């Protein structure tokens, strides 16, 4: 059973994304956890190069492995999807 992502984890993810991409004109609290990170609906305006950097930073920061492009697309959809994946991977690695 996967634990619920905490507000602290989500905040940590937002800060990591902003530091990785050198985003200084948006505050972490302005990024909606539910909205897609890619697209005009969010405070961030990210592109495919940003996606690669985010995936690399997640793998480095959380010791997780994102195996393929399809999984990566799913994982980096939103802050919530990133948090859920991190928790699921940590849970899987406990077994």
Give the total residue count for the chain.
Answer: 95
- The answer as to whether 2 is a domain residue is no
Count of domains observed in the chain: 1
Which residue range forms the structural domain that includes residue 90?
Answer: 7-94
Provide the token pair at 59.
């793998």
**Is 58 inside any structural domain?**
yes
Residue 32: phi, psi to the nearest 5?
A: -75, 130
Residue 1 lies in a domain: no
| Phi, psi for residue 67 in degrees, rounded to 5 | -70, -40
Residue 60 falls inside a structural domain: yes
Q: Residue 38: which of 54, 24, 20 has the closest Cα?
A: 54
- Full-prediction pTM beyond 0.85? yes
Quickly tell me which residue has 């920061």 as its tokens.
61
Domain with residue 29: its CATH number is: 1.10.1200.10
Q: What is the pLDDT along the chain (95 residues), one digit of tens a residue?
A: 457 889 999 999 999 999 999 999 999 999 999 999 998 777 888 998 999 999 999 999 999 999 899 999 999 999 999 999 999 998 887 76
User: Residue 43 falls within a domain, yes or no?
Assistant: yes
């Amino acid at each position: 059973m996967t634990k619920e992502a905490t507000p602290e984890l989500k905040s940590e993810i937002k800060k990591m994304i902003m530091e990785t991409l050198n985003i200084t004109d948006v505050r972490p609290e302005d990024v909606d956890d539910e909205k897609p990170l890619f697209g005009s609906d969010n405070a961030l305006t990210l592109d495919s190069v940003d996606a690669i950097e985010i995936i690399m930073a997640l793998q480095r920061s959380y010791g997780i492995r994102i195996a393929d492009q399809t999984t990566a697309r799913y994982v980096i959809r939103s802050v919530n999807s990133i948090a859920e994946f991190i928790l699921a991977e940590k849970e899987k690695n406990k077994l």
